[in-house]
Structure 1
Amino acid sequence: MMRRVAYALGDIASRLLPKAHRPWGDAMIAEIGHADADRAALGFAIGCVVAALQARVCDGETRFFAGLWSIALLTAFFAVLRFECAVNGVWVLLGAPDRMEEALLQHGATRSLIASYEAGRPFVILCFLALGCTELAAAWFLSRRDYRRFLCAWCAAFFVAAIAVAIQLSIVWSAPDLPSEFHPLLMQAIAVPALLTWSQIRREHARRMQ
């Protein structure tokens, strides 16, 4: 029984190893078969799993893909926030209280400013919907390693974000303390390509070191 568990752990260790170290997996399984005692084979197999995990964590290819998925998940998270804001905007159009309008009134906004805000609200909602869609597309293309389409989706997202920010600033430019849903947009547009570039450079460096 212990020998079977040892072989199962050896197979797991072999699958965990990076592609460049896959021959080590065959050697591990062969070594398990040459162990004199079942307990020794099990102990060796456990050590193989630990070594395989360490090799996987230190592997440059693994870190690169982990970086891509981290960026994709972050992008998808922001997309969900955009959709949430759009849904809240629709509820406001249907008669729900508008916290932004209340904040404007508390800051002494004029009637013309409130009228401009109400006129621009549907366009902002459409921008949120478009931004959420483009960010979801960017996350999907990035997870599929389709970098060209990812770049196109991000350019579209940045364009929509610029329109949304321009609409907001044209209305509430004189109220800098108001909460804004658009503050992360510029940071996201800069940070995501920068992280992707960093991951690619690290990947190329790891390949040259092999």
Structure 2
Amino acid sequence: MRSAVARVVMALAVCCFDESRRAWAAAMRAEFETAAADGKPLSFATGCLAAAWRELLTREQGRFVLTNYALVLGLMLPMAALQIGCALLGLPYLYPGQQGLSGALLEGKAHEALVRSVYQAAIPSLALLQLLIGLGHLRIAWVMLNRDWPAVRRLGAGALAAAATLILFMGVLFLNGIQALLQGAILVIELAIVAIVARWHAQLFPSAATAPPG
């Protein structure tokens, strides 16, 4: 158990290093195996983690890593959970009438009786679009951690296309699309922030910007 915890701590320490510290991270891994053989893996791994955290705070490259993780954990993953939850659970506060996705119909309008049956049949398609947007957020978060910015751009374009389709679909069906518009606007802001982070990464690591990921 102690060895397993030490390996987790060591893996976390290695993940904290940026591209310019890969050689140091590899050396730490090799020294960790020696420390493990000597029966002191946890103390060595803890020391490596402390050194990695000092690097994060004192170097611009480290601050980039922190910013990237903060963006993933604080923005992309919560939005993914929101979108997926809306698709699968119909979170009641996202749409009017406290009825989740099924509450988006504009009540009391002359067209209500005409489109209600069509709308009910369209609910699975609307939910699928929201699910795709949420899954897109998850995938974007993953490739951001790998600094695969071309993949981020492709996934972002796909998420934007799904969001635009959702908004248009709701408009055609005379649905209340205010929340969908808001989520689409948030997605645009997210991708703009990601683009800024990608440019920052390219400035810090010019060779990584042209090299294939991995």
- Give the TM-score category using the shorter length: 0.5 to 0.7
Aligned residue in 2 for 1:169: 171
Which has the greater radius of gyration? Answer: 1
Aligned residue in 1 for 2:155: 153
Contact 1:131 1:160 in 2 (8 A): yes
- AA matched with 2:193: L
CA distance in 2, matches of 1:130, 1:57: 36
Shift of residue 202 of structure 1?
A: 4.2
Gaps of 5+ in 1: 1-15, 21-48, 91-96
Q: Deviations over 1:16-38 (max 9, x none)?
A: 99978xxxxxxxxxxxxxxxxxx
- AA matched with 1:88: L
Cα distance change of structure 1 residues 152 and 181 upon mapping to structure 2, 3 Å threshold:
same
- Mapping of 1:1-210 within 5 angstroms? 53=54, 56-73=56-73, 74-89=75-90, 98-99=99-100, 100-101=102-103, 104-105=106-107, 110-172=112-174, 180-188=179-187, 190-202=188-200
Cα distance change of structure 1 residues 102 and 62 upon mapping to structure 2, 3 Å threshold:
closer
Shift of residue 119 of structure 1?
A: 2.7
**Normalization by structure 2: what TM-score?**
0.56
Q: Where has structure 1 moved over 4 Å in runs of 4 or more?
A: 16-20, 106-109, 200-208
Cα distance change of structure 1 residues 116 and 183 upon mapping to structure 2, 3 Å threshold:
farther
Identity, in percent, stands at 16
Contact 1:89 1:121 in 2 (8 A): no
Q: Deviations over 1:33-74 (max 9, x none)?
A: xxxxxxxxxxxxxxxx9xx85x74352112212222223221
Contact 1:60 1:202 in 2 (8 A): no
Q: Deviations over 1:61-97 (max 9, x none)?
A: 122122222232211211111111111259xxxxxx9
Shift of residue 132 of structure 1?
A: 1.7
Cα RMSD of the aligned pairs, angstroms, is: 3.9
Q: Deviations over 1:74-129 (max 9, x none)?
A: 11211111111111259xxxxxx945438632567621132332232111011122
Cα distance change of structure 1 residues 66 and 17 upon mapping to structure 2, 3 Å threshold:
closer
How many residue pairs match? The answer is 156
Contact 2:56 2:65 in 1 (8 A): no
**Normalization by structure 1: what TM-score?**
0.57
Shift of residue 184 of structure 1?
A: 1.8
Aligned residue in 2 for 1:93: none
CA distance in 1, matches of 2:163, 2:181: 8
CA distance in 2, matches of 1:205, 1:107: 54
Cα distance change of structure 1 residues 58 and 152 upon mapping to structure 2, 3 Å threshold:
same
CA distance in 2, matches of 1:159, 1:119: 22
Q: Which protein has greater RCO, CA pairs closer than 8 Å, 6+ apart?
A: 1
Cα distance change of structure 1 residues 184 and 111 upon mapping to structure 2, 3 Å threshold:
same
Gaps of 5+ in 2: 1-15, 22-49, 92-97, 207-214
CA distance in 2, matches of 1:168, 1:120: 9
- AA matched with 1:64: F
